[in-house]
Amino acid sequence: MKNLFFFLLPLLLIACKGVDQYRAPIEELSGNWDTTTKAITDFQAQVSSELTSYTQALAKMQPDDATKMKLTPDQVGAWENSQKAVTDALGAYAPMQKTINDFVQTWSEKSAEVTALKDGLAAGKIEGDVNAKITELNAMVATGNENLTAWRASYATVKSSVDASFNALQQLYGTLSAPAMKK
């Protein structure tokens, strides 16, 4: 019996230590995951909000019927070209939004794995290859941050293009709506 006790004691100590050895890596992963989640979802919301604002502003920026009747064919052409330029520039948001939304979907699925690790840590029992899972999820955090950096750069380019075309449309709209310019 004494020999059995000495044999089981190290196993018991290893088993007790097993979960605690993952405490720091899981807590660090959890904190990084939460920070990255917030940054990505905030950026996703910003892009969506920006697109909605531009789309609504474009829909509201139409010459009234009286103005439309007084436009020359050149002015009509300039107006249509300017509107098309804004619409084309806004079209660049769609692939960016799809890329972000696809990543967020994958991210959300992986969030369950982070939660499982935290819950397992709290319960004192974690199953599977914990080190591999932590490594995989930390790599996902790094990918999320890299993607966010790339998305922000793309967003700046898209936003600049939309701003430029929208400003040109606003100037043209002001010209077409100005009483002195109507014929």
Three-state secondary structure of 56-96: HHHHHCCCCHHHHHHCCHHHHHHHHHHHHHHHHHHHCHHHH
pLDDT of residue 178: 61
Look at residue 22 in the predicted model and tell me its pLDDT.
94
**What are 62-76's pLDDT values in tens digits?**
888 888 888 889 998
Q: How far, CA to CA in Å, does 26 sit from each of 73, 117, 149?
A: 67, 7, 25
At residue 17, the pLDDT reads: 56
Residues of the chain short of pLDDT 70, as ranges, are 1-18, 177-183
The confidence score (pLDDT) of residue 52 equals 94
Q: Which CATH architecture has domain 20-181?
A: Up-down Bundle (1.20)
Rounded distance between C-alpha atoms, residue 33 and residue 144, angstroms: 9
Q: What is the pLDDT of residue 5?
A: 47
52: helix, strand or coil: helix
Residues sharing a CB contact under 8 Å with residue 42, sequence separation 6 or more, in sequence order: none
Provide the whole-model pTM: 0.81
The residue extents of the domains of the chain are 20-181
